[in-house]
Structure 1
Amino acid sequence: MSQYLLPLAALVAVASPVAAQTGTDLAAVQRAIAGIDSMTAAFSQTDRNGQVLTGTLTLKKPGKIRFQYQKGVPLLIVGDGKALTFIDYSVKQVQRWPIGSSPLGVLLDPGRDISRYAKIVPSSNPAVLSVEAYDPKHPEYGRITLVFARSAAAPGGLMLQGWAALDTQGNRTTIRLSDQKFNVPVADSAFRWTDPRRQGRSS
C-alpha cells in the first residue's frame, strides 16, 4: 500500500448530509463558493507525521480539480468532472472515488447546497469563517473543515485559506493555500493525466 494514501483519504472524508444549518455566515460561504468559476493557488499539505508537501492547485467548475505536487513527489490527484482520481506513479497505483463522495464537491458543484451537510464552527476571530462537514451516520469518514478569511479581493468577500481533515484515529491532514487567483482562464487539458498502468495512454 502506498505511503501517500492519507491525503486522498482526507479529501474523500465526507459524503452524506447532516442536519440542515442556516444563518447569514453559511449563506455568505455559499455565495462565495458560487462566485468561484475557476481558481489557481499554491498549496502546502501537512500530514499526521508533520511531513510537508507543496504543489499547485487548479480548479474549474463543474467538477474539475488538480493537485500537482512538487517536483520529485510521484503523486497526482485529479478530478475530471465525475471522479476524483489518486495516482501514485511510484507504485503504479490508481484509485478513483465519485466526486459526490468528497467534501471537495462543496467547491466543485455549483448547484450544491452546503447547508444540508455543513455548519459554521464558532470562532472568536470575526475575520475568519470555518465550515465543518461531518456525517454522523458514517463516523468512519471523519471530519473536514474549510477555512475562509474575509477579504474584499475574493468572490463574495471570502478567501478560501484551506482545510483540515481529521480521521477516526485522530490523524489530521492540513491543506493551506496561498497566492489564490480566481476566475482565471483554465484549459480543460489541465485535468488530463497519464495512467501508469497503461504506458503511453492518457485519461
Structure 2
Amino acid sequence: MIWRRPIRFLAPAAAIALAAPVAVHAQAPVTLATVQQHLAQTNSMTAAFTQTDRAGKVLTGTLTLKKPGKIRFQYEKGVPILVVSDGKSLYFLDYQVGQKQRWPIGNSPLGILLDPSRDASRYARVLPESDSRVVSVEAYDPKHPEYGRITLIFARNASAPAGLMLQGWVTLDAQNNRTTIRLSDQRFNVPVADSAFRFNEPRRGTNRR
C-alpha cells in the first residue's frame, strides 16, 4: 500500500548519483556503518526534487525533511496533491478529489530516512556498484514485505554529512510499482520550522495546501 496511487516511476538508480561533481579515481568501498553515520548526522534537509513516470511525465517540487519523522513533498504549482508526514503518520492528500490516505511512518520505505532510532543494519545492505562514485543502499524488511523496499542512492562528497550526498531513491511497493525521486540543490542541517509540516484538510475541488 506504499505510494500505491500517487506516483509510479521507473528509472536507472545509479544515474541519479552521477549529477554530482565527484572524483573519478577508485576509492575504498563505503560500509553500511558510514551510511548510518550520514543518516545520524542529517537532522534536516531541503532539496528540489524531480519525478518522472513511465510515460515520461515529469513532476517537480520541493522536499523538506526534519527528524524525527517529518517530511514534505511540495509539488509544483497546479499539482493538487501533497505528501507530508507530521512525525507520526505519512499522508497522501489529493485536493482535487478531496481524499486523504494515511500510513504509519514505520510502514513506509521512507522510515530509514525519518527514524534515527532504527538500526539499519537489521534490514539494510550496501549493494555492489561498478562505479566507485556511487553508493547504493537497499532497505527491506523481509518480515513485512507489504512495507515495500527502498534503494537510497548517494554520491561521494566530502562536504556532505559523513562524506555522502543523498541524490535520491527508488522505492518498490507491494504491488511492484517503482517510484524514483531525484534530488538537487541539497542543503543539510538547515533550520526548519515544525509549521512546515502542517496541512489543510482536503476538500473536493480545492487546491489549498
Give the shorter-chain TM-score range.
0.7 to 0.9
1:192 aligns with 2:198: yes
Does the aligned pair in 1 maintain the 2:112–2:139 contact within 8 Å? no
Distance 1:184 1:94 in 2: 29
Residue by residue, what CA displacement relative to the aligned partner does 1:1-22 show, whole Å, maximum 9, x if unpaired? xxx81439xxxxxxxxxxxxxx
Q: Secondary structure at the match of 2:109?
A: coil
Q: What does the per-residue CA deviation read over 1:100-139, in whole Å, with 9 as the maximum and x for residues that have no partner?
A: 1112111111211111111111001111110112233444
Tell me the equivalent position of 2:64: 58
Partner of 2:130: 124
Q: 1:47 aligns with which of 53, 56, 65?
A: 53
Amino acid of the structure 1 residue aligned with 2:151: T
1:181 aligned onto 2:166: no
Moved over 6 A (4+): none
| C-alpha separation in 1, matches of 2:179 and 2:202 | 26
Q: TM-score, normalised by structure 1?
A: 0.83
- Tell me: CA distance 1:101–1:139, structure 2 relative to 1, closer, same or farther (3 Å): closer
| Structure 1: gaps (5+ residues) | 9-22
Tell me the SS of whatever aligns to 1:28.
helix
- Call closer, same or farther: CA 1:142–1:187 in 2, change over 3 Å: closer
Q: What is the aligned partner in structure 1 of residue 5 from structure 2?
A: 5
**Which residue pairs with 2:99 in the alignment?**
93
How far the C-alpha of 1:140 sits from its partner, in A, is: 4.7
The letter for the 2-side match of 1:73 is: V
RMSD: 2.7
Residue 172 of structure 1 and its aligned partner are, at CA, apart by: 2.3
Displacement of 1:197: 4.0
Identity %: 70
Tell me the TM-score normalized by structure 2. Answer: 0.80
Structure 2: where are the runs of 5+ without partners?
9-28
Q: 1:5-154 alignment to 2 at 5 Å?
A: 5-7=5-7, 25-154=31-160
Q: Is this contact kept in 1: 2:95–2:203, CA < 8 A?
A: no
2:171 to 155, 165, 179: 165
Aligned to 2:13: none
- Structure-2 separation of matches of 1:95 and 1:167: 16
Aligned residue type for 1:39? M
